[in-house]
Amino acid sequence: MTTVVLNVKIDAELKEKLRHYAEVNNENPGTATEKLLQLAFQLEESAGEAGVTEEDIDSQHTEEEATPLTPKEIKALRKLLKKKNETTILYSQQL
């Protein structure tokens, strides 16, 4: 394993927590940081492996009930679309 230097800007409070963690565990801040980063990545990987599968999801009774539009609603939509198109045309002509 190759060791490299990583400079990171972090919040002062987080730096203090890291320093305290390293002190309590008799480690230097670099070792503590590496340990915590490895732990975080392990947790992320295990969370991905233990993710929800399709079989875990109960999709019963989730069908969407859609009723067709009434002629009155269709007419109102057409009117709105026509008005929107007219406004767009007028606006583009002003530019």
Neighbours of 21 (CB within 10 A): 15
Tokens of 66: 């859609």
Q: Say what the pLDDT of residue 91 is.
A: 62
Q: Say what the pLDDT of residue 43 is.
A: 82
Q: Say what the pLDDT of residue 10 is.
A: 92
Q: Say what the pLDDT of residue 62 is.
A: 74
Q: What angle do CA 11, 32, 9 make, to 5 degrees?
A: 25
Tokens of 75: 């007419």
Q: Say what the pLDDT of residue 63 is.
A: 76
Stated pTM of the model:
0.48
Residue 28 domain boundaries: 12-47
Tell me, yes or no, whether 39 lies in a domain: yes
Shortest CA distance to 32 belongs to which of 22, 20, 42? 22
Residue 69 near residue 77, CB atoms below 8 Å: yes
Q: Say what the pLDDT of residue 31 is.
A: 92
What is the count of structural domains for the chain?
Answer: 1
For the stretch 65-92, pLDDT in tens is 788 989 999 999 999 888 877 777 666 6
List the chain residues with pLDDT less than 70: 47-54, 56-59, 89-95
Tell me, yes or no, whether 80 lies in a domain: no
Tell me, yes or no, whether 34 lies in a domain: yes
Tell me, yes or no, whether 90 lies in a domain: no
Quote the distance between the C-alpha of residue 3 and its chain's center: 32
Tell me, yes or no, whether 66 lies in a domain: no
